[in-house]
Amino acid sequence: MKVQSLILGAPLAAQAATIQKRQDIGGLISGAAGLLTTQMKPFKIVDGTSTMKRPGVKNIRIFHGPLNLLPADEAAKAKGFRSDPNSNSFMASLLGFPQDSYILRTNSSLQYEDGTYATVGNDVYNHHVQLFDIGKMNDLLFQCGKIDPAKPKYNIKIPGSYFGGSAADGTQPALFTSPDGTFNSGYFLGKNSKVMLSAELVNYSKKPKVIYHVTEVDYLPGDTKDIMDTSVGIMSVNQCDDIPNPFLSAPAGKKAFEMKSKQITILKDGYMIQRRGHMHDGGTGMLLKVNGKLACDSKAQYGAQGMFKTHDGKEYPALSGMHECNDPIEVKKGDSIEIEASFDLDMHPPRVHAGHGGGEAEEMALMGYVFAFKRPDNKQ
Ligand SMILES: [Cu+2]
């Protein structure tokens, strides 16, 4: 995951700055503006039937691509910043999403042309796929420390909201309501919305591969009475430490270890809907606590998407999912949250980078939650 940017809360501004700098130095890659306006039209849109109980929900699957994946050692020769040096990275503005709608759920997957899934079992490692809507300013959901929500340290809005995505730790959907769609919340995708795709995908086979990014969307067109808008909060376990680098490594000489966050304060009244950890191979689970009470036990699951080989040739079950909690829980501004993460690198060895002389891939421990803002009139 490209998390530095998530954590700054200004993903594209941060990336644009990096790109701009590189361009000034050598003009090696097309400029930020060019990259940001690279538009990808849908390859096709397929109508479906929503499985949500709420009446009036529409369902479509939007195919974007083709995306060409070079084998890891060839991809490693490409220039430009990537969190995984072997990955093929993509950034584009995706067209075809239903604007002026409340999005209830997005489900991102990688598929071959024949509709089968591209997974680690057939040599495609999904480091991350992220969709951001940059057409909206959002309120800050939390700040580090014990904060009086009436006097936040920073009184700012941030551009862009996480809107969906997937990673090797599971392709569970982004859910902006309860699983059946009946909780009265959704993500408002406005007329000015601009859905940006940012992806890093590793092809561990020897041959190039061609895949598609498919976003399944459940949505309510137009306005919906009293519906609550949502935003997504993502925090690394060390978010509030002095050095909040989200790329983690084990303490010297340790294979099994735990990390605990410092206190984090919620700044808004509302509901936490979907909550889930994000880890890499080696992680065993994450806990989310609100005011000291368990609000989600997000255990890591291994093996459902196949095995991967370590450098010593041994095969291990690959990380395949994180348990998700999605019963809406009410929270108030001033509530404190804490996150905990546990790792066991003996039981679940980390991936090893294919190029650049190998090296252990980084660990991660992010907790993400979808937050529904209580309406000013306190109606749900
Ligand atoms: Cu990650």
The proportion of the chain whose per-residue pLDDT surpasses 90, expressed as a percent, equals 61
Q: Find the largest Cα–Cα distance for the chain.
A: 60
Cα-to-centroid distance, 364 and ligand 1 (Å) = 6
Q: How far is the CA of 322 from the centre of ligand 1 (A)?
A: 12
- Amino acid identity for residue 38 in this structure: T
Q: What pLDDT was estimated at residue 151?
A: 86
Q: What distance, in Å, lies between the first and last C-alpha atoms of the chain?
A: 33
CA of 226 to the centre of ligand 1 (A): 35
Tokens of 320: 């395949």
Task: Calculate how far, in angstroms, residue 126's C-alpha sits from the geometric centre of ligand 1.
Answer: 10
- Expressed in angstroms and rounded, the spacing between residue 282 Cα and the centre of ligand 1 is 12
**Residue 310 pLDDT:** 66
Say how far apart CA 114 and CA 111 lie, in whole Å: 8
Residue 336: other Cβ atoms inside 10 A: 17
Neighbour count for residue 89 (Cβ, 10 Å): 18
Residue 114 alpha carbon to ligand 1 centre in Å: 28
Q: What residue spans of 9-70 are helical by DSSP H?
A: 11-26, 32-37
Ligand 1 centre to CA of 150 (Å) is 33
Between the CA of 131 and the centroid of ligand 1 the distance, in Å, is: 14
What residues have CB less than 8 Å from 363, skipping those under 6 apart? 247, 248, 249, 250, 279, 280, 282, 283, 343, 350
Ligand 1 midpoint to CA 122 (Å): 20
Tell me the CA–centroid distance for residue 4 and ligand 1, in Å: 11
Structural domain boundaries of the chain?
3-373
* Confidence (pTM): 0.82
What are the 10-residue block averages of pLDDT along the chain, 380 residues in total?
34 33 30 60 96 97 95 85 83 95 96 92 90 88 90 82 84 88 96 91 94 97 93 93 90 94 95 94 96 97 79 81 94 96 93 61 91 74
Name every residue whose Cβ is closer than 8 Å to that of residue 129 and which is 6 or more positions away in sequence: 108, 110, 165, 166, 167, 197, 198, 199, 201, 213
What is the Å distance from ligand 1's center to 278 Cα?
7
- Residue 89 CA to ligand 1 center (angstroms) comes to 14
Contact 147, 206 (CB under 8 A): no
Question: What is the phi/psi pair of residue 288, to 5°?
Answer: -115, 130
pLDDT for the residue 353: 64
CA of 304 to the centre of ligand 1 (A): 18
Q: Is 40 left (phi over 0), alpha (psi -120 to 50) or beta?
A: beta
Amino acid code (one letter) for 256 = A
- The continuous run of DSSP H or E covering 3 comes out as helix 3-8
User: Which residues have CB atoms below 5 A from the ion given as ligand 1?
Assistant: 1, 364
pLDDT of residue 285: 98
Alpha-carbon distance of 195 to 40, in angstroms, equals 10
Ligand 1 centroid to Cα of residue 128, in Å, is: 7
| 221 Cα–ligand 1 center, Å | 33
Please give the Cα distance from 3 to 366 (Å, whole number).
9
The CA distance from 108 to 100, in Å, is 21
What is the C-alpha to C-alpha distance for residues 208 and 220, in angstroms, rounded to an integer? 39
Who's near 73: CB < 8 A, 6+ residues apart?
A: 86, 354, 355
CB atoms within 10 A of CB 321: 19
Tell me which residue has tokens 């939390």. 142
- Give the pLDDT confidence score for residue 153 in this predicted structure: 85
Report the pLDDT value the prediction gives residue 350, as an integer from 0 to 100.
87
The rounded Å distance from CA 119 to ligand 1 centre is 16
CA 1–ligand 1 middle distance (angstroms): 4
Distance CA 196, CA 38 (A): 10
Spatial CB neighbours of 62, under 8 Å, sequence gap ≥ 6: 42, 45, 94, 96, 97, 214, 215, 216, 217
Question: Number of H helices and number of E strands within the chain?
Answer: 4, 23
3-state DSSP call for residue 12?
A: helix
